[in-house]
Amino acid sequence: MKNVQEEYRKGPWTEQEDILLVNFVHTFGDRRWDFVAKVSGLNRTGKSCRLRWVNYLHPGLKRGKMTPQEERHVLELHAKWGNRWSKIAKKLPGRTDNEIKNYWRTHMRKQAQEKKRPMSPTSSSSNCCSSSMTTATTQDTGGSNGKMNQECDDGNYSMDDIWREIDQSGANIIKPVKDIYYSEQSCYLNFPPLSPTWESSLESIWNMGADESKMSSFAIDQFPLSFEHDTSAWSCLV
DNA sequence: AATCAGCTCAACCGCAGGTTG
DNA sequence: GCAACCTGCGGTTGAGCTGAT
């Protein structure tokens, strides 16, 4: 048995891990997370991989603040369904349950604060709103903090950066966003053209019950990633 | 300039439901 | 029918950032 505490990595994901995960998800799909976790060599649990993909790496995600429309939508849907975050998220393309949950928490906290000190004339400008939920959230979230937008525009390291790096490499790496199509309920990965050997490999892999040792070497062949920490560029590209 | 408080968001945890053998 | 395993969901936490003092 594997000692989970000792062997699995926790905490923030590195760029290399992200790239590796993106590659493997594009290859094997966003299912079978335990398998992806093992085969990729990431020392992460399948759960952790899934979460990273769903909440951050997924190409369909919108980054940045919620629009007033989205905020209103969240409020409406929450009134209807309660804390069914994933259900609500499905109605808001590009938003994750985690994001909505976080938004709601912030929103509720602000509400609670405003209830504590109703009509306080000394409230800062960020608390200037009426008790109307919609207007309150709209102004609050829009006004107080531009962090997310900054990160989006010129932030340290975003998915855009990853895609750009991958794109610039030119190469055999699977292409992101534009080749991936989503429906409301699910995500279809449209793989780039695969070589016949690659295709048959994939097929046989799924059919053979995914012998892990075979898979590992297969993976290494297909993604000869180097994890040398190179600050100038990722040296993982073929 | 330093410190503090509040906020945001990524990530973890535990649990429940679904799937597979 | 049952146990083991996997996936997804909702709740919670903590690090890092920002603005106020």
Joined tokens for residue A10: 């926790």
Q: Output the pLDDT for position A133.
A: 35
Confidence of residue A27 (pLDDT cuts 50, 70, 90): confident
| Separation between the CA of A204 and the C1’ of C12 (whole angstroms) | 42
Mean pLDDT of A187-196: 37
Confidence of residue A114 (pLDDT cuts 50, 70, 90): low
Q: Output the pLDDT for position A222.
A: 53
Domain(s) of CATH 1.10.10.60: residues in chain A: 4-60+157-222
Q: What pTM value is reported for the model?
A: 0.64
Q: Give me the CATH code for the A68-145 domain, please.
A: 1.10.10
In sequence order, the 6+-apart residues with CB closer than 8 A to the CB of A38 are: A46, A212, A215
In angstroms, what CA-CA distances link A143 with A43, A125, A149, A237, A238?
40, 9, 12, 41, 44
pLDDT of A199 strictly over 60: no
Per-residue pLDDT tens for A138-153? Answer: 333 333 333 333 333 3
pLDDT of A73 strictly over 80: yes
In angstroms, what CA-CA distances link A153 with A62, A137, A158, A213?
13, 23, 9, 42
Task: Give, to the nearest 10 degrees, the angle between helix A133-143 and helix A97-116.
Answer: 110
Question: Among the ranges A12-16, A126-130, A193-197, which has the highest mean pLDDT value?
Answer: A12-16
Task: For nucleotide B19, give the residue with the nearest CA to its C1'.
Answer: A32
Q: Estimate to the nearest angstrom the gap between the alpha carbon of A221 and the chain centroid.
A: 26
| Separation between the CA of A123 and the C1’ of B6 (whole angstroms) | 14
Q: What percent of chain A has pLDDT over 90?
A: 1
Q: Output the pLDDT for position A120.
A: 42
Mean pLDDT of A88-109: 86
Joined tokens for residue A51: 């979460």
Q: Output the pLDDT for position A160.
A: 52
Mean pLDDT of A50-57: 89
What positions of strand B are covered by protein, i.e. any atom < 7 Å from a CB?
7-14
- The CATH H-level (homologous superfamily) assignment of domain A4-60+157-222 is Homeodomain-like (1.10.10.60)
Which nucleotide is closest to the Cα of A145 by its C1'?
C18
